[in-house]
Structure 1
Amino acid sequence: METIILQLMEVFKGLSYFGIMLALTFEFMPAELVLPLAGYWVYEGDLILYGAILAGSIGGVLGPLTLYALGRYGGRPMVLKYGKYFLVTEEHINKSDRFFEKYGGGVAFFGRFLPGVRTAVSIPCGMAKMNVWKFIFFTYIAMLPITTVYVYLGFKLGPQWTQAGEIFSQYANLLLVPIAAIIVLMIVKRRKRVKSI
């Protein structure tokens, strides 16, 4: 499967930044592979670092948006029927449902940091008819730090870019928890500022 994905990525490479966005739109294309490879393309001089991060972050929203739409317009029966084509199992859906019930709309942000939930978390957001702009916003601010770390690792590792996933998983909590905490604090401060006006 990885070989097929890498062959597809050579096609997407010809589309430059749009190719990165397009690759991440398909949920079967793992970001753990696509983003470090984009970083390697930066290392080779084919892309600019900030452009690759932006394209990866936008693509990281487009993929979940397809699952959000599946949940919103198809409901649970359609998700159970077609979710397998997006590598989403019934177990993923059940975990995401429980997580959504517990944390509400914030799952569009926090769910991105949790294995076993991150892929399917968009579905209960869609089924609950969460505001689509709110969903896009929370998904984007969650995907931005993840994308940045993966692309930067691919860039720094150069020809050894395939090791990025392993390195990322070792240090994910150390890297992402503080970033998530900072973003949450920024949102809370902004809300307080808006309420005081």
Structure 2
Amino acid sequence: MLQHKLVAFIAHYGYVGIFGALTLGIVGLPVPDEVLMTFAGYLISKGRLHYIPTVSVAVVGSFTGMSLSFLIGRKLGYPVLVKYGKYVHITEEKLNGTHRWFERFGKFAVTIGYFIPGVRHITAYLAGIGKWPFRHFLVYALPGAMLWAVTFITLGTYLGEHWRKVTETIHRYLLVVLLIVVVAGLVAWYVKKRWKKSAI
């Protein structure tokens, strides 16, 4: 099974393995990114890796993958991606679905998209196809990479031996969890805004 092989790869190669797996995973290969980062956190809890270097390598690896995807989308465009995307599990259906996501959330789709399997692999391609200036892409993609890496690596450091079971459950319901968090954040913002108005 690919997941077990990648876990063994990271356990053996450490930081280099994390960088390579996340770079390839973001480009589109079927790599269970959240599982691998949580496992990296578990290795930190066992003293085999260190927190700051692990987070740094994960951020650089994921952002490298996003940058490669951005450049591919910018240079080759939509038709080529539709034609050859199937080789890295990017279908026309996924492209169209992510495009609708872009229309709904705008540039923040790049940031939020990290947390949604099937979306994070495509947002950078669409940003490239849309001819974004790279500096604008950097502004939205890099914070997402940092937040994503910190979230799952930190989670892994606290889960201990239960890292695999919990992460697989989170991966399955990640979109639902994200929607709940976004809605809760919007409600909190609205309540705070109303409270400030009533206090004036």
TM-score (norm 1): 0.76
Aligned 1:26-37 pairs, distance under 5 A: 26-27=24-25, 28-37=30-39
Unaligned runs of 5+ in 2: 187-200
Aligned 1:24-173 pairs, distance under 5 A: 24-27=22-25, 28-114=30-116, 116-165=118-167, 166-167=169-170, 169=173, 172-173=177-178
Q: Is the 8 A contact 2:6 2:36 kept in 1?
A: no
CA-atom RMSD, angstroms?
2.8
Q: Distance in 2 between matches of 1:106 and 1:100?
A: 8
Are residues 13 and 111 of structure 1, via their aligned partners in 2, closer, same or farther at CA, if it must alter by over 3 Å? same
Deviations 1:131-187 (A, max 9, x none): 223213311201222221211221111222102322464784389649x98xxxxxx
Q: Is the 8 A contact 2:111 2:144 kept in 1?
A: yes
Unaligned runs of 5+ in 1: 182-197
Are residues 152 and 103 of structure 1, via their aligned partners in 2, closer, same or farther at CA, if it must alter by over 3 Å? closer
Q: Is the 8 A contact 1:153 1:164 kept in 2?
A: no
Q: Is the 8 A contact 1:60 1:140 kept in 2?
A: no
The one-letter code matched in structure 1 to 2:63 is V
Q: 1:191 maps to what in 2?
A: none
Q: Distance in 1 between matches of 2:117 and 2:12?
A: 31
Deviation at 1:92, TM superposition (A): 1.3
TM-score (norm 2): 0.75
Q: 1:20 maps to what in 2?
A: 18
Q: Distance in 2 between matches of 1:163 and 1:133?
A: 38
Deviation at 1:103, TM superposition (A): 4.3
Q: Which 4+ runs in 1 deviate beyond 6 A? A: none
The one-letter code matched in structure 1 to 2:165 is Q
Higher-Rg structure is 2
Q: 2:2 maps to what in 1?
A: 4
Are residues 132 and 13 of structure 1, via their aligned partners in 2, closer, same or farther at CA, if it must alter by over 3 Å? farther
